[in-house]
């Protein structure tokens, strides 16, 4: 098989070196051991087609690999698969100022798209903590969200076109950058969020927009989780928010220690809300803050006075994932409709003591768009496998609460292997059957990321 791969790609771009298998065979998920049989590094669409055709002919399983920042084991190769890394497909191909569309290869890093847009006096608004290493192909495959969804939506909203190689090895050029295109099923959207199970995204047309106005960041101390949505509603009445995030005291404790950051406020609160808004809304924001204080929803607050302070406040939120990584958290990435957030948090608050009686929970997330991250921290001394097994066994209790409100068990991290067996909590049996039929149509031999997403 390795010999055959070396016939379709230059031999030095097919690796079986142990350190390469370990590195490219996994994402940020730590619950599965990496065990690919090879890693390949195509540079062109034709090479991706050649690898895919070989996989069909020889019955190989392929796993796409981007920035490997995924949190659901969607890019983990644990069964002797061939990893297809997009690291060498990292070029910008075209930019059209009138369309405000940039075409890039799948391996371009998100932060480089943001920098490219800045260089053109424009803005690519999809942003998250892992922007420095995540790649566009992976963002498309998981329909990545992040910290600005409240104003700008998800990756899906910025994709004007896609070039994909299907599981059958066919190249499809989808939507071609059009704004309007009412010619039937929009196949582009099937690939967005498909987690590499239908084909490989090889190129993407990304929409860019005007840069935002200068902004301010506020961090508020909140004692009762139930008040967070009252604060959101009050601020939204007069302030154009670009972000509304939250995190718990435990998260602040971890991130300030890990990054040697200053605490945001003199006093500590059970929770904190982080808001970002346009600077010209500062008076309205201060009025909303005063009212929230008077209503008892907020105990204290701070507003950035400089770019550096804004960055320092954002660091409290963006550094959380890294700061709890040594505790190998079991990650839950839950979403309900925004209006359902208070009721849902109340359900979870009551259930947590029952579901996870002796475990520490680190809460944070994008509460303004209905997405909360509930991270269960592994106690020292407990083996990772035993811990994950235990959490998996408890997940149905939590997911029943999500399902009861029509929510999602994976808002933005994807399903991968981690949440695969729980898909039925968010998608009906009929939907899953249709997904299988779609997969069969685009990947008839099941070579594309088998074992991911579909139970």
How many Cα neighbours within 13 Å face the side chain of 142?
30
Q: How far apart are CA 356 and CA 439, in angstroms?
A: 36
Who's near 365: CB < 8 A, 6+ residues apart?
A: 245, 246, 247, 371, 372, 373
Q: Which is nearer to ligand MLT, 155 or 321 (CB)?
A: 321
Judge whether 80 and 63 are in contact, CB under 8 Å: no
Rounded to whole angstroms, the Cα distance separating 31 from 391 reads: 12
Widest Cα–Cα separation across the chain: 72
Closer to ligand MLT by Cβ: residue 321 or 426 = 321
Q: CA 323 from chain center: how many Å? A: 18
Query: Is 299 a residue that touches ligand MLT (CB under 6 A)?
Result: no
Output 254 or 439, the one with its CB closest to ligand MLT. Answer: 254
> Please, which residue, 321 or 328, has the CB nearer to ligand MLT?
321
The residue of the chain with the least Cβ separation from ligand MLT equals 321
Rounded to the nearest whole angstrom, what is the least distance from the CB of residue 26 to ligand MLT in the complex? Answer: 16
Measured from the CB atom, is 345 or 448 closer to ligand MLT? 345
Closest approach, Cβ 100 to ligand MLT, in A, equals 27
Q: If DSSP codes are grouped into helix, strand and coil, which group holds residue 130? A: coil
* Contacts of ligand MLT in 15-44 (CB under 6 A): none
The reply on whether position 129 binds ligand MLT by CB under 6 A is yes
Q: Please list every residue from 41 through 80 that binds ligand MLT, using CB under 6 A.
A: 71
Binding mask 308-327 for ligand MLT (x = CB under 6 A): -------------x------
Listed in sequence order, the DSSP H helices in 63-216 are: 110-119, 136-142, 149-152, 188-191
CB-wise, 373 or 439, nearer to ligand MLT?
Answer: 373
Burial of 53 (0-12, 13-18, 19+ CB in 10 A): middle
Q: 100, 207, 254, 373: which one contacts ligand MLT (CB under 6 A)? A: 373
Across-strand partners of 85?
A: 65
Least separation, in Å, of the C-beta of 321 and ligand MLT?
Answer: 4
Residue among 112 and 131 whose Cβ is closer to ligand MLT: 131
The DSSP call for residue 370 is T
Q: Least distance (Å) from ligand MLT to the CB of residue 371?
A: 8
Least distance in Å: CB of 98 to ligand MLT?
A: 34
The closest of 128, 30, 39 to 83, measured between CA atoms, is: 39
Measured from the CB of residue 326, what is the shortest distance to ligand MLT in angstroms? 13
Residues at the contact surface with ligand MLT, assessed by CB under 6 A: 71, 128-129, 321, 331, 373
């Amino acid at each position: 098989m390795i010999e055959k791969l070396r016939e379709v790609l230059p031999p030095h771009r097919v690796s079986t070196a142990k350190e390469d298998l370990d590195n490219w065979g996994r994402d940020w998920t730590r619950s599965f051991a990496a065990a690919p049989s090879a890693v390949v590094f195509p540079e062109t669409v034709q090479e991706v087609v050649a690898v895919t055709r070989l996989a069909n002919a020889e019955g190989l399983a392929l796993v796409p690999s981007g920035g490997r920042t995924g949190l659901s084991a969607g890019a983990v190769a644990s069964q002797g698969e061939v990893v297809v890394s997009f690291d060498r497909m990292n070029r910008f191909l075209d930019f059209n100022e009138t369309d405000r569309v940039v075409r890039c290869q799948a391996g371009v890093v998100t932060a480089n798209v943001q920098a490219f847009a800045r260089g053109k006096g424009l803005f690519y608004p999809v942003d998250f903590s892992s922007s420095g290493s995540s790649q566009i192909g992976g963002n498309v495959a998981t329909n990545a969200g992040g910290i600005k969804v409240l104003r700008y939506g998800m990756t899906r909203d910025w994709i004007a076109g896609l070039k994909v190689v299907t599981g059958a090895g066919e190249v499809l050029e989808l939507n071609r950058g059009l704004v309007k295109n009412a010619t039937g099923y929009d196949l582009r959207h099937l690939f967005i969020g498909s987690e590499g199970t239908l084909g490989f995204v090889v190129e993407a047309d990304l929409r860019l927009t005007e840069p935002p106005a200068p902004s301010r960041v506020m961090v508020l101390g909140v004692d009762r989780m139930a008040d967070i949505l009252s604060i959101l509603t009050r601020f939204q009445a007069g302030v154009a928010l670009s972000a509304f995030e939250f995190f718990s005291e435990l998260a602040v404790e971890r991130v300030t220690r890990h990054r040697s950051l200053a605490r945001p406020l003199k006093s500590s609160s059970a929770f904190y809300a982080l808001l970002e808004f346009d600077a010209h809304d500062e008076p309205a924001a201060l009025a909303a803050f005063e009212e929230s204080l008077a209503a008892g929803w907020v105990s204290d607050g701070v507003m950035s006075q400089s770019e550096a302070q804004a960055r320092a406040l954002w660091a409290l939120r963006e550094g959380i994932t890294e700061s709890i990584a040594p505790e190998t958290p079991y990650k839950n990435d839950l979403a309900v409709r925004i209006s359902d957030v208070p009721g849902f948090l109340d359900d979870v608050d009551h259930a947590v003591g029952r579901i996870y009686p002796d475990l520490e929970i680190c809460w944070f997330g994008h509460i303004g768009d209905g997405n909360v991250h509930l991270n269960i921290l592994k106690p020292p001394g407990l083996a990772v496998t035993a811990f994950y097994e235990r959490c998996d066994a408890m997940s149905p209790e939590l997911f029943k609460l999500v399902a009861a409100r029509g929510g999602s068990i994976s808002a933005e991290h994807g399903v991968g292997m981690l949440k695969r067996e729980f898909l039925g909590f968010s998608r009906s049996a009929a939907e899953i059957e249709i997904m299988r039929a779609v997969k069969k149509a685009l990947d008839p031999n099941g070579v594309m990321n088998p074992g991911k997403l579909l139970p």
